[in-house]
A = this chain, B = another copy of it.
Amino acid sequence: MKTVDLVITAPHVYTMAGEGVGYMSSKAIVIEGSKIYDIVDIDKWQDMYKAEEVLDMSHHILLPGFIDAHMHTGDNILRGLAQDTGLWMMYGLMPFANVTTQAQKDIGVPAALIEAIKAGTTTTGDYMYNMDASTEFVKKSGMRGNLTYMMRSAKFKTYKPGELYEFDKKQGEESFNACLDYYHKWNGYDGGRIKVLFGPQGPDFLSLDELMRIRKAAKELGTKIHMHTQQGDRETYQIVSRYGKRPTALLKDMGYLDESLIAVHLTDCTDEEAETIAKSGASMIVCPGSIGIIDGVVCPSIAFQNAGGNVALGSDQAPGNNCHNIFNEMKNICLFNKLKAQNPEVMPAWKALRMATIEGAKAIGLGDEVGSLEIGKQADIIAVDYMRPSMLPIYTKPMRNMVPNLVYSARGDEVVLSVVAGKIIMKDRKLVNIDETEYLSKMSECPDVIGELATPEFLSINGTNAGFMREDKL
């Protein structure tokens, strides 16, 4: 009889294998090392295996861990400071972002990732200029990292409306080299638990030469390009002014559209432009909550999928969205598209669950490793407790109601167990490798300092939230 590392049993398993949700009843998932070794009937596994550890999840649903494909956790220290306002970046975020140090950003990073893990995220697609704190947390917490080093050569300064970005070759060179260094240091860490992607901030933030150099290097190393793409009218304006065509057309003409590209947002894309990108083999990340709050827009992810492209979900950042919870994004993607189409059949629950798991994994290049529970794949598994008001009752015939309840009703705190690469990283809702309280407590060091320094610009801009403060509306 073979001895294995871990067996997890449960009455309901959504493997997400195949074209649907891969439902299985009463199964034992047998784990050896970082991988799923077998999936057998719950009443048979003990005839076949001895296990070092057994987790009997008797009133739970097992699922592949969720993928949050696009996060900027460095903004988490500014949660809740920039919503409900037009010109989100200039009028909302900038007064605070301009005075925030890297050390302060780093304090917010773990709290964002703790929030994500406690709502079922096992893979983070974090994406920043400085990835140190995020990488350190991923390393320590045991979660999976599909991490992107962000690059730009557009100078960091406040541009006037209509002013074209000024490219700084040296800055572009430095960020490119730092990205390469980061790639070589971390890509493949811990048996591939960390993968590194290349992150030009957007086609408007770098020169065409720089964009092409990044592409060449990514191709040579066999990694993907994770890039904000046609993310708003500001980008479209920059590109049209500079090159006389819209971003999608530019990228197409540059040969930038292919399976190497993960295009984020497409906020300003028409359905036709989204189709062009999808048909090239590129994938998409949609961040419904973030773009809903910031722009009041539902991005064309359905057009992208209809054209054959894979779409992942992302929570983006906390001063916009304002949270990092994939249950939130699953619900948003369904509801927002129903409202956009005025049709309740558009974007059903099972599609959102696939975006959070297997479709998301395919979109970010991890489709062969995670996103579904199948023999030989990485054991990234979460367990959802269904003895909660949000999940009850459980029907199995004539239809199962667990997927709709997960997408439309669950809040995130129903996730009680998380396993990544065969190792338990959360048990009974406690992260096992880190001290959550310590990380959360540190957050309180920042607001007074940042708030004090941000006050002059906040008051001088005198935006929506400044008005709300005067009027006792915050």
Contact = CB atoms under 8 A, between A and B. Distances in A.
Contacts of A348: 83-84, 464, 468, 473
A472 B22 contact: yes
B474 A403 contact: yes
A344 B469 contact: no
Given A393-B108, A411-B325, A293 B344 contact: yes
Nearest to A341: B296
A350 interface: yes
A338 interface: yes
A382 interface: no
Interface string A92-116: 0001000000000000100110110
Interface string A281-302: 0000000010011111110000
A150 to B, nearest CB: 23
Contacts of A447: 393-396
A3 to B, nearest CB: 33
Interface in A357-388: 387-388
Interface stretch (A124-132, A169-177, A248-256, A449-457): A449-457
A459 interface: yes
Interface string A257-273: 00000000000000000
Interface stretch (A63-71, A157-165, A316-324): A316-324
A206 to B, nearest CB: 28
- Which of A86, A345, A395 has the most B CB atoms < 10 Å from its CB? A395
A292 B469 contact: no
A191 interface: no
Contact of A338 (B112, B296, B404, B446): B296
A455 B448 CA distance: 60
Contacts of A332: 335
B389 A86 contact: no
Contact of A83 (B349, B413, B468): B349
Given A292-B339, A296-B338, A23 B472 contact: yes
Interface stretch (A13-21, A135-143, A217-225, A237-245): A13-21
Contacts of A437: 387
Contact of A400 (B84, B344, B455, B474): B474
Contact of A389 (B112, B344, B346): B112
Given A84-B344, A296-B342, A464-B345, A399 B474 contact: yes
A120 to B, nearest CB: 12
A50 interface: no
A21 to B, nearest CB: 6
Q: Which of A295, A321, A404, A412 has the most CB of B within 10 A?
A: A404
- Of A86, A108, A447, A473, chain B has the most CB atoms within 10 Å of the CB of A473
Nearest to A452: B397
A280 interface: no
A232 interface: no
Nearest to A80: B401
A466 interface: yes
A344 B22 contact: no
A28 to B, nearest CB: 20
A294 B85 CA distance: 29
Contact of A293 (B80, B338, B466): B338
Given A23-B472, A296-B344, A451 B338 contact: no
Contact of A298 (B339, B344, B444, B472): B339
Contacts of A455: 397-398
14 contacts: A20-B471, A79-B392, A83-B344, A115-B389, A292-B338, A296-B342, A297-B339, A322-B409, A339-B339, A388-B440, A389-B440, A396-B451, A397-B455, A403-B474
Interface of A: 18-23, 77, 79-81, 83-86, 88, 95, 108, 111-112, 114-115, 118, 289, 292-298, 318, 321-325, 328, 332, 334-336, 338-346, 348-350, 387-390, 392-405, 408-409, 411-413, 437, 440-441, 443-444, 446-448, 450-452, 454-455, 458-459, 464-466, 468-469, 471-474
